[in-house]
């Protein structure tokens, strides 16, 4: 065996100590990036990592079929016959959700616990002979299922007699105190910004400092939701679409929740380099409305729609608060829970195998040129290890060589947000073998906690990610790559002015089947070849299929009332008024404020039980919020059937409004007089008007 002479051994030792210590000293002298701008608290980080949790709207509205109760409801209407909060918790858990937020008190003031500060509570209801406490049952169920528990409390209270006076602020603070001290840990306190008028017409000037102090005194770690945080923010719409640019930072000075909030576009995108860390939360309902209604059992969002919501919320640096409203039994309806499980399955399939596994990665720059911030940190699955460049290096590229050729269509990126949100521009290229060159794949502006980019499926072994703009040196901690299954879109069913039904599907070359008898369509049902006539009321259910029926879409159900084939809009006499009865919700009429009321001649006298107004499904549209509705047999003598009525919550959730009359009427003409829009515009917008005869 060869031995090293003693004098050489001591030389080697000295040299290795010297070089070794220099190496580790150099490594350690590489300082981590300084936090940039506003950064999340430890509790905001915990909250952000929850990503997905349930909203439960439940209260008198569940039983009265309205979205906003007025506080005058008899508390006895609240009477769930088979309430089981453990079923809600089991459903949320199985769906992959991390918590439940309950509407402890909505705008009608009804308290789901026996509050000492109200006479409009479960105590006054028939449920459990007034002995029940829903917050107790739900908080215990959440605990049992390992879920976080959160509460929604509306400061706007249409029942409390003190509302609209300074005393009410203390009443509301007492109410908060009660809820936040009585049911264990609360992860999120949800403040609704709605601020309507009280009975005496007075608006409340809210004491937000008092409310926040009350929350933090009881629950120091709670995330406070409102339009402007401070814990997290409303992202500006109730359709589930966070901004493609979405900063978790927001300028809050001078703003307040509700009427004093920043514009909805700002809430949607946050402020680049904004002064406070107020990340976005996407609240959206699985049904068209927030409360359960038997009328919407066939309007529960499809899996395709839920998957879309996933990408426009969690995929865009926002948490997803998905509302799944319990029904009149006090349970989550089977249609909703089935849809949740199917949704979860698609997401699991889409993100089953990270194709970055085994990849090698090179960066144009590495902080300190050492191993501590090397790009391999992006693939190690460890949250707190990250790749960074040197201070001042605001652009960079990463080149990833996959283990072998891979086929994929999703790229997941994460910034290490404990050091702030920095990246403002990123483009992604892939190596295109046939071009023998790099080709454009996709691009984005912000990343934040999590960004998932979707693009057409490609097969390649190399991708290159360019950080093209960053507010400070980029700091990223994770990259993942996936092949999500292609989706066969469900068909769209519409009926035109002539009463002909058209069924279309956005996926290529589908074969469509449908039924008219309410049964679920199969490949043996009627095959759709061309538009068909449906002048009377009826239900169309349709599916799309490809590959000889091997792949079948979800079922779509459209419930039609009588068709507008015989109708005519006779007022106002302005262009395009026919668009409000053409069956196409995409075509809209714009009606200047001073126009004559909208009068529709139904062509014959019919029994009318209600009417429907389809607004434009965008919060910036000046949809009608307040209206009069009258009917007439002859077009001259009018009878008022709705006077100065409100379309509830239409500003934030502009979905189809089905309004039932107190008493059915028999008439030939209907007259809609818009009184107020959701914004101060110079025209109102109507997509469709219909009548309810069923």
Binding positions for ligand FUL, rule: CB under 6 A:
67, 192, 194, 283, 290, 649, 652
Question: Minimum distance from CB of 316 to ligand FUL (Å)?
Answer: 19
Nearer to ligand FUL, 237 or 269 (CB): 237
Write down the number of H helices and E strands in the chain: 10, 33
HSE (side-chain half, CA atoms, 13 Å) at 178 = 20
Nearest 10 degrees: Cα torsion 421, 50, 58, 80: 180
Q: What is the DSSP string of 41-99?
A: -HHHHHHHHH-EEEEE--SHHHHHT-SS--S-S-GGG---SS--HHHHHHHHHHTT--E
Nearer to ligand FUL, 44 or 652 (CB): 652
Question: Minimum distance from CB of 611 to ligand FUL (Å)?
Answer: 22
The helix or strand, by DSSP H or E, that contains position 22, with its residue range, turns out to be helix 6-29
Nearer to ligand FUL, 290 or 567 (CB): 290
Phi, psi of 338 (to 5 degrees): -65, -45
Q: What is the DSSP string of 343-354?
A: HHHHHHHHTS--
Question: Minimum distance from CB of 656 to ligand FUL (Å)?
Answer: 16
Question: Minimum distance from CB of 192 to ligand FUL (Å)?
Answer: 5
Cα–Cα distance measured from residue 148 to residue 223, given in angstroms and rounded to the nearest whole number: 12
Closest alpha carbon to 677 in 647, 657, 655: 647
Nearer to ligand FUL, 97 or 670 (CB): 97
Question: Minimum distance from CB of 622 to ligand FUL (Å)?
Answer: 19
Nearer to ligand FUL, 67 or 582 (CB): 67
Cα–Cα distance measured from residue 216 to residue 214, given in angstroms and rounded to the nearest whole number: 6
Nearer to ligand FUL, 120 or 422 (CB): 120
The tokens for 581 are 């009865």
Question: Minimum distance from CB of 649 to ligand FUL (Å)?
Answer: 5
Nearer to ligand FUL, 133 or 192 (CB): 192
Question: Minimum distance from CB of 624 to ligand FUL (Å)?
Answer: 17
Question: Minimum distance from CB of 659 to ligand FUL (Å)?
Answer: 17
> 592 burial class (0-12, 13-18, 19+ CB within 10 angstroms)?
exposed
Question: Minimum distance from CB of 342 to ligand FUL (Å)?
Answer: 24
Question: Minimum distance from CB of 281 to ligand FUL (Å)?
Answer: 11
Cα–Cα distance measured from residue 98 to residue 52, given in angstroms and rounded to the nearest whole number: 6
Nearer to ligand FUL, 194 or 458 (CB): 194
Our CA angle for 323, 329, 334, nearest 5°, is 55
> 635 burial class (0-12, 13-18, 19+ CB within 10 angstroms)?
middle
| Whether the Cβ atoms of residue 208 and residue 197 lie closer than 8 Å to each other | no
Nearer to ligand FUL, 172 or 482 (CB): 172
The tokens for 315 are 């995929």
Nearer to ligand FUL, 64 or 504 (CB): 64
Question: Minimum distance from CB of 411 to ligand FUL (Å)?
Answer: 32
Nearer to ligand FUL, 265 or 349 (CB): 265
Cis peptide before 190 (omega within 30 of 0): no
Question: Minimum distance from CB of 267 to ligand FUL (Å)?
Answer: 13
The helix or strand, by DSSP H or E, that contains position 415, with its residue range, turns out to be strand 396-415
Phi, psi of 367 (to 5 degrees): -55, 125
Nearer to ligand FUL, 450 or 651 (CB): 651
The tokens for 599 are 């009068």
Question: Minimum distance from CB of 516 to ligand FUL (Å)?
Answer: 35
Q: Cβ of 551: how many Cβ atoms within 10 Å? A: 15
Closest alpha carbon to 292 in 60, 500, 77: 60
Nearer to ligand FUL, 290 or 449 (CB): 290
Nearer to ligand FUL, 176 or 579 (CB): 176
Nearer to ligand FUL, 104 or 250 (CB): 104
Question: Minimum distance from CB of 626 to ligand FUL (Å)?
Answer: 16
Nearer to ligand FUL, 102 or 631 (CB): 102
Beta strands in 474-632 (DSSP E): 475-482, 492-495, 500-504, 511-515, 526-527, 532-533, 538-546, 551-552, 556-560, 568-571, 589-592, 598-614, 624-632
The helix or strand, by DSSP H or E, that contains position 640, with its residue range, turns out to be strand 639-646
Question: Minimum distance from CB of 546 to ligand FUL (Å)?
Answer: 38
Question: Minimum distance from CB of 652 to ligand FUL (Å)?
Answer: 5
Cα–Cα distance measured from residue 256 to residue 314, given in angstroms and rounded to the nearest whole number: 26
Residues 6+ apart with CB under 8 A from 295: 65, 658
The helix or strand, by DSSP H or E, that contains position 123, with its residue range, turns out to be none
Question: Minimum distance from CB of 145 to ligand FUL (Å)?
Answer: 23
Strand pairing category for 188-191 and 223-226 = parallel
Q: What is the DSSP string of 182-248?
A: HSS--SEEEE-----B-TTSPBP---HHHHHHHHHHH-TTPEEEETT-SSEEE-S-SSS---SS--S
Strand pairing category for 396-415 and 492-495 = unpaired
Angle at which helix 85-94 crosses helix 134-144, to 10 degrees, equals: 40
Nearer to ligand FUL, 168 or 291 (CB): 291
């Amino acid at each position: 065996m060869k031995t090293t002479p003693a004098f050489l051994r001591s030389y080697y030792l000295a040299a290795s100590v010297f070089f070794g210590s220099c190496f580790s000293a150099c490594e350690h002298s590489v300082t981590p990036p300084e936090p940039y701008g506003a950064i999340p608290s430890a509790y905001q980080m915990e909250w952000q990592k929850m990503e997905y949790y349930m909203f439960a709207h439940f209260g008198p509205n569940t039983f009265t079929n309205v979205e906003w109760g007025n506080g005058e409801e008899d508390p006895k209407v609240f009477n769930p016959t088979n309430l089981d909060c453990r079923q809600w918790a089991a459903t949320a858990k199985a769906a992959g959700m991390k918590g439940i937020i309950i509407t402890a008190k909505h705008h009608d003031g009804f308290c789901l616990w026996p509050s000492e500060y109200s006479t409009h509570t479960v105590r006054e209801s028939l449920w459990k002979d007034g002995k029940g406490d829903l917050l107790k049952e739900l908080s215990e169920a959440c605990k049992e299922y390992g879920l976080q528990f959160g509460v929604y409390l509306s400061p706007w209270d249409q029942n409390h007699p003190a509302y609209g006076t300074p005393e009410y602020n203390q009443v509301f603070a007492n109410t908060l105190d009660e809820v936040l001290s009585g049911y264990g840990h609360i992860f999120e306190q949800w403040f609704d910004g709605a601020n309507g008028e009280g009975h005496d017409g007075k608006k409340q000037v809210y004491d937000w400092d008092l409310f926040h102090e009350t929350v933090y005194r009881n629950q120091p770690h709670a995330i406070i939701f409102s339009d402007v945080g401070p814990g997290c923010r409303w992202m500006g719409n109730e359709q589930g679409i966070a901004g493609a640019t979405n900063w978790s930072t927001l300028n809050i000075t001078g703003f307040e929740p509700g009427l004093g909030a920043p514009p909805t576009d700002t809430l949607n995108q946050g402020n680049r380099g904004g002064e406070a860390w107020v990340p976005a939360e996407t609240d959206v309902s699985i049904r068209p409305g927030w409360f359960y209604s038997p009328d919407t059992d066939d309007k529960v969002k499809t899996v395709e729609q839920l998957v879309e919501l996933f990408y426009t919320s969690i995929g865009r640096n926002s948490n997803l608060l998905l509302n799944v409203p319990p029904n009149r039994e006090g349970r989550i309806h089977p249609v909703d829970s089935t849809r949740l499980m199917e949704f979860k399955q698609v997401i699991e399939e889409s993100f089953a195998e990270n194709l970055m596994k085994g990849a090698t990665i090179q960066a144009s720059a590495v902080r300190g040129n050492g191993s501590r911030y090397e790009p391999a940190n992006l693939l190690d699955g460890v949250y707190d290890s990250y790749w960074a460049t040197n201070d001042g290096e605001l652009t960079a590229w990463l080149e990833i060589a996959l283990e072998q050729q891979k086929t994929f269509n999703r790229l997941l990126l994460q910034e290490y947000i404990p050091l702030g949100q920095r990246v403002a521009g990123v483009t992604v290229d892939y190596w295109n073998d046939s071009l023998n060159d790099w080709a454009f794949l996709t691009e984005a502006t912000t990343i934040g906690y999590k960004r998932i980019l979707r693009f057409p499926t490609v097969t390649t072994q190399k991708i290159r990610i360019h950080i093209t703009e960053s507010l400070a040196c980029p700091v990223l901690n994770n990259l993942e790559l996936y092949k999500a299954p292609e989706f066969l879109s469900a068909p769209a069913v519409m009926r035109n002015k002539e009463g002909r039904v058209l069924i279309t599907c956005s996926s290529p070359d589908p074969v469509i089947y449908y039924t008219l008898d309410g049964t679920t369509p199969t490949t043996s049902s009627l095959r759709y070849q061309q538009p068909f006539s449906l002048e009377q009321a009826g239900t169309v259910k349709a599916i799309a299929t490809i590959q000889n029926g091997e792949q079948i879409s979800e079922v779509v159900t459209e419930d039609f009332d009588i068709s507008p084939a015989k109708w005519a809009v006779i007022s106002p006499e302005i262009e395009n008024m026919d668009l409000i009865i053409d069956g196409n919700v995409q075509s809209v009429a714009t009606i200047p404020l001073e126009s004559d009321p909208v009068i529709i001649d139904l062509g014959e006298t019919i029994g009318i039980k209600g009417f429907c107004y389809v607004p434009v499904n965008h919060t910036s549209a000046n949809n009608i919020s307040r209206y009069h509705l009258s009917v007439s047999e002859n077009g001259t003598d009018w009878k008022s059937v709705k006077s100065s009525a409100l379309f509830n919550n239409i500003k934030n959730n502009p979905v189809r409004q089905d309004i039932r009359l107190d008493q059915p009427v028999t008439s030939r003409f209907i007259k809609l007089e818009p009184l107020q829009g959701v914004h101060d515009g110079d025209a109102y917008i109507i997509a469709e008007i219909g009548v309810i005869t069923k």
